[in-house]
Structure 1
Amino acid sequence: MTGPILALRNLTKSFPQGGAFDRLLGRGSRFVALDDVSLDIQRGDVVGIVGESGSGKSTLASLAVGLAKPTSGEVLLDGEPLSRLMRNHAGPWRRRIQMVFQDSSSALNPRKTIGRCLTETLALRGVERGAREAEAIALLELVGLGPEMAPRLPHELSGGQRQRVGLARALAMKPDILIADEPVSSLDVSLQAQVINLLSRLTRELGLTLLFISHDLALVRTLCTRIIVMRKGQIVEQGPCLDVLEHPSHPYTRLLISAVPKGIAGRRTPASPDMPAREPARSANAG
């Protein structure tokens, strides 16, 4: 199938600000979390989405996976609008796009064993009852865990193990697109490396399209082939990962790189408070 597997078209998401009384009197304002973003994700892309807190990264992910509705604009999967798919047959959409969340503790039901968590997800995909347990074990092994994890509860696992279980649960739906929202930010450096290596292996072996949301440019450089830089709800730069990180064209991208100690851009330099807020994106697809 030609064309992007996932497309955002003039996507905007805003939230009301102020109290109920202010809104009643018409004095309420709106916070724009995502501002007229257009973006194409090609099949097999491994894309890093970077930016500071509040840049719109997680809002973009929530809209793409169908957890929130846009204020305006449209999300399309293989050219079909999310609004139509969710209204007529949301199941296929939800199976094809899965998300791994930042907080592995809150993403898992504390009262359900890991095995039950996975078998219930497999049931949603339509796997026959007799085959669910064996497939759940296979999923655990796929993410580097053993069958001894199945009877355990989430609190009996380490943070890295819980994050792997979250990944296994997402893969249980056999998605085409995986969105990982800061999946390693709560882990120590050694566990971060393990999860990043696992994601790299799975994208190659399973042919996944991956959106990796992070504030860590070093991790994005390691994992991703393409990078999207966001600021104040807009895409300010995008392109091949190494090209953007080694030759950034936007002041904000240069600022992000310079803030990495001994990092991608070398010596740490001070941030400029007078940096322009908005400039045209590097690519025409940035909207």
Structure 2
Amino acid sequence: MNDKIIEINHISKCYNMGLFRNKQHNIVHDVSFTVRRGTTYGLIGKSGSGKSTIMKMIAGLTSIDSGEILFKNRRVTDWLRYNNHEYRSSCQMLFQNPLQSIYPKFLAEEAILEVVKIHNLSTVNIEQDIAAILEMVRLSTSIFKRRVTELSGGELQRLCLARILLVNPELILLDEPTTQLDTGAQFQIMTILKELQLEKNLSYLFVSHDIDLMKYLAHDVGVIERGEIIEEGLSKSVLKNPKSQFMKQLLDAYYTL
């Protein structure tokens, strides 16, 4: 359970800013951490601190300026070059806004079948497989004839999760997946994620502003400020007795809202 699924080694990312794009801004600077197989690593920090950029670099959606990312002890750049399809099946992302990954005019059924087609999944027993996955995320085929925009926020996010599970990933990048949901829907999706992790030995990288959700799901936590990891450790330690002044301020602000 404790072997590394993904290892982040000294990665950095700069963007050119300003009118003439001649000023460099370090959005991520010399970041390192490890996600252990079957566990959740939580990244916590303010908006604009580099969390989503790290997610995109892991997913291969943006390039790395320096450092390296290893997935199962192999560079992600090599995965993307030589085994792109396999990597993109193994490493999936659940977005904050579900409509970032689903065409809004789709019926729910079309959203599911799109994954079957894109990933060239076997159609043998596919109906039973889809039904079983929908059950895992507390949905049923009764939603199939509804457009995705007619679904509630919770239903839509769970549909996105079902699409992810169809390709049997090992690592899921959770980019603030509950931010747009009400409290009940948040609790449901977090419960499902925890159940799936135990059942399938899934690994998660979880970005969130919500301290309580982080406590619920994360085993390890990294605190990020201005693109740098300033504190790291077991979640029960970092989120209860932080060492950094920045994390202490985050906790104070969260619990005085």
**AA at the equivalent of 1:9:** N
Correspondence for 1:80:
74
In 2, the alpha carbon distance for the partners of 1:175 and 1:234 equals 28
Deviates more, 1:146-155 or 1:232-241: 146-155
Correspondence for 1:112:
106
Pairing 1:116-195 to 2, within 5 Å after superposition: 116-195=110-189
Deviation (angstroms), 1:168:
0.9
Deviation (angstroms), 1:90:
0.5
Correspondence for 2:13:
13
Correspondence for 2:223:
229
The answer to whether the aligner puts 1:94 opposite 2:94 as a matched pair is: no
In 1, the alpha carbon distance for the partners of 2:8 and 2:82 equals 20
Pairing 1:253-272 to 2, within 5 Å after superposition: 253-261=247-255
**AA at the equivalent of 1:32:** N
Identity across matched positions, percent: 31
Q: Is the 8 A contact 1:85 1:93 kept in 2?
A: yes
In 2, the alpha carbon distance for the partners of 1:7 and 1:249 equals 24
In 1, the alpha carbon distance for the partners of 2:123 and 2:168 equals 17
Correspondence for 1:210:
204
> TM-score if structure 1 supplies the norm length?
0.85
Higher relative contact order, chain-length normalized (CA < 8 Å, sep 6+) = 2
Q: 1:142 to 1:2 in 2, by over 3 A?
A: closer
The answer to whether the aligner puts 1:65 opposite 2:53 as a matched pair is: no
In 1, the alpha carbon distance for the partners of 2:118 and 2:127 equals 14
**AA at the equivalent of 2:54:** L
**AA at the equivalent of 2:247:** T
Q: Is the 8 A contact 1:224 1:241 kept in 2?
A: yes
Correspondence for 2:241:
247
Cα deviation per residue 1:22-58 (whole Å; 9 max; x = unaligned)? 24xxxx1112111011111111121211100011111
Q: 5+ residue gaps in structure 2?
A: none
Deviation (angstroms), 1:2:
8.1
In 2, the alpha carbon distance for the partners of 1:53 and 1:94 equals 26
Cα deviation per residue 1:198-226 (whole Å; 9 max; x = unaligned)? 11111111110011110111110112221
How big is the alpha-carbon RMSD for the aligned residues of Structure 1 and Structure 2?
A: 1.7
Q: 5+ residue gaps in structure 1?
A: 263-267, 269-287
In 2, the alpha carbon distance for the partners of 1:85 and 1:222 equals 32
In 2, the alpha carbon distance for the partners of 1:3 and 1:199 equals 20
Deviation (angstroms), 1:180:
0.7
Q: Segments of 4+ in structure 1 off by > 4 A?
A: none
Q: 1:106 to 1:127 in 2, by over 3 A?
A: closer
Structure whose alpha-carbon radius of gyration is higher = 1
In 1, the alpha carbon distance for the partners of 2:2 and 2:201 equals 16
- Number of residue pairs the alignment of both structures matches: 257
